[in-house]
Chain A
């Protein structure tokens, strides 16, 4: 089973007659499927819808900020627009994006399993996500939410006039969906690996998801109970964050960020996993420092839990606690830097080709680097007093989340698309879209660093006139970015029907998922359980010379 062919298919590839997506075709067979690949497709469709909705709100924000005065919408409307942008993008797009779609699809195949350990819980987690999503739509239709995605009391508990309780319920359900995905992944990685698939033969994508899952399980419940407390306080008018009876709103911020900072790593770690797969494949080189990347994922997950206090520097948190959190925040940069160094070293003297996934991966490295380094600027307490709640922060986390995670998600989607659908998308269009996304992204968010440095506060619908040029630049960049994203559904959907059959392994990639048919059959491995004898990065520089310049 596991002998790996280096030569690409000579005969033109054909689609397999029967695969996971066409064994049964009724709507019910999709909605109640327990096949991890079908659930991944369900997730893919749902998060794409939410990405579009979140993107719509982003464009409304950018249109409003074209002019210094609030010409397009009132302050209240603007508050609702940026809140819904945040809530939808974070809870309904970024957190499930890579784990629930690409992870769900690829992780079991990558370790040689027929399915995740608990297929029904996997389905349950999609249903919880959809229930939360429906509630998010209800919030939207009933007048929106204006608290910001962070739900800070006492504003959210006492003063907000919008649909806070329903929004909290939506976030709560999405949270448990995420917990169940994490639980499934951890058990699968521990118990379902194929013979020979040792821990250090696992793809780094799997390591990254393992680390992510730990955060999901240990962090998410804390925010769940915290949001329940806010809902209780809002519904019954009594609660523990109310300063009028001696409660402490900062307590909410502590509990909220105990999850919500690690949640940033829930968003970025799977993206790092994707990039760790793509970079060696398109450099034709073994990944540099495999163990270091694997352990840095774990280190990020663990240290990521110890840094949340840097969100509270200006919230009357003790300065001494702040110092500790600041130091630990600097520490978390070390494993991140190790990864960037190792990806770069992997490319060194590699045979790099610039297909669409690789362009996204390269974009990821650059943008994540900028996002990470500006994170260090914010991590030092003195700087943060100036930068806190300015556009510098907005630009920083968009560089990490959009420049990092969305790029990585697109990267993985383009990398595994031929495996998921069996068909290849038009390469040129995909490349153009990738370049548009990269350029548009930088034009959108780099000006916001400058704006924040100059002191433009976030979350206002109006600003002073001298900021207008940079804001116009940002909006224009967002248009280019939107064009790049907007192209993708067209050529991807086109490829579903008219794309060339991709064959089992269009990228000549290593790893178990490329040894099964595209699209894979229901239980993944038509020839029975695979036996793994090789690590997933046994690339060689030149295919023609094959083993003479092999890695050993």
Chain B
């Protein structure tokens, strides 16, 4: 706790407070950018859901709600470990900080691992869009609602893969940054006046969680009431 704030203020800032507030604002602007980035995908989702409700209901029924629900819990837990890591960094508890970050990383990998199995199962059922796409109603993993065409179902799975894929890509990038942060923490880089990197990364991680909070009901829970 002996660190003074002067040592962490960059040359072009006047004081510590200006620096931290600038960093927070900058991160939020980056997240605003991210919100709009995913917003384009959600807009496309809404349009096609409106146009092809049968295909959307059928497609949603093919997704594995157990794995999806499990992943939701995993992400929620990783959000808790991340928030706790920020708290550890603020309090200068370096050892707990390292363990908090490692727990977050492990949970992130668990999510990606489960996602991999989901993708694999879709591949085996020929539900990956492309020339091999074929929705076989007789051997489908879920009921068929209405009379969707192969093309419309392919649209659903296009959006499913692009949306979850873009989310997973953000998780992978986040995992990369997490590893960097763990290395920094192990070197004793963080102290109660220098934890901004942790806090800002926390913002990013929670944002990725928010995206999943919307993806889960929009993709998995569309037509569970039969």
- Chain A interface residues toward B at CB < 8 A: 113-119, 121, 179, 182-184, 186-187, 190-192, 217-222, 224-226, 229, 232, 236-240, 244-248, 251, 254-255, 258, 523, 529
Contact = CB atoms under 8 A, between A and B. Distances in A.
Interface of B: 11-12, 14, 18, 21-22, 25-26, 29-30, 32-34, 36-41, 43-44, 47-48, 51-52, 129-131, 133, 149-152, 154-155, 158-159, 162, 166
A115 to B, nearest CB: 4
Nearest to A219: B36
B162 A232 contact: yes
29 contacts: A114-B12, A116-B12, A117-B12, A117-B22, A118-B26, A121-B26, A191-B21, A192-B22, A217-B32, A218-B33, A221-B39, A221-B40, A222-B37, A225-B38, A225-B166, A236-B130, A237-B130, A238-B130, A238-B154, A238-B158, A240-B159, A245-B150, A245-B154, A246-B155, A247-B48, A248-B47, A255-B40, A523-B12, A529-B14
Given A191-B21, A225-B40, A247 B155 contact: yes
B29 A183 contact: yes
Contacts of B37: 221-222, 224-225
A119 to B, nearest CB: 7
Given A225-B166, A523-B12, 7 more contacts: A183-B33, A217-B33, A217-B36, A218-B33, A238-B133, A245-B154, A246-B52
Contact of A221 (B18, B25, B36): B36
Contacts of A529: 14
Given A245-B152, A245-B154, A220 B18 contact: no
B40 A240 contact: no
Contact of A183 (B18, B26, B38): B26
A179 B35 CA distance: 13
8 tightest A-B CB contacts, nearest first: A245-B151, A221-B37, A238-B129, A115-B12, A225-B40, A114-B12, A221-B36, A191-B22
A222 B26 contact: no
Contact of B158 (A121, A218, A240): A240
A442 B52 CA distance: 51
B162 A251 contact: no
Interface majority SS (helix, strand, loop, mixed), chain B: helix
Contacts of A258: 40
Given A225-B41, A239-B158, A245-B152, A191 B25 contact: yes
Contact of B29 (A192, A217, A225, A226): A217
A119 B130 CA distance: 44
Contacts of B162: 229, 232, 240
Contacts of A222: 36-37, 39-40
Contacts of B36: 217-219, 221-222
A187 B30 contact: no
A315 B76 CA distance: 44
Contacts of B52: 246
A237 B132 CA distance: 11
Nearest to B52: A246
Contacts of A219: 36
A245 B154 CA distance: 7
Of listed A116, A187, A226, A237, residue having the most chain B CB within 10 A: A187
A251 B47 contact: yes
Nearest to B41: A225
A113 B133 CA distance: 57
Nearest to A36: B12
A119 B22 CA distance: 12
Contacts of A240: 44, 48, 155, 158-159, 162
B220 to A, nearest CB: 19
Given A114-B12, A183-B26, A232-B162, A255 B32 contact: no
B11 A114 contact: yes
Nearest to B21: A191
B22 A179 contact: no
Task: Give the residue among B26, B39, B133, B150 with the most A Cβ atoms within 10 A.
Answer: B26
Contacts of B21: 191
A179 B47 CA distance: 27
Nearest to B32: A217
Contacts of B154: 238, 245
A119 B155 contact: no
A221 B29 CA distance: 12
Contacts of A251: 44, 47
B34 to A, nearest CB: 7
A116 B11 CA distance: 11
Nearest to A252: B44
Nearest to A183: B29
B40 to A, nearest CB: 4
B39 A187 contact: no
Nearest to B133: A238
A226 B155 contact: no
A121 B33 CA distance: 15
A228 to B, nearest CB: 8
Nearest to A244: B151
Contacts of B32: 217-218
A246 B133 CA distance: 15
Contacts of A245: 150-152, 154-155
A366 B44 CA distance: 41
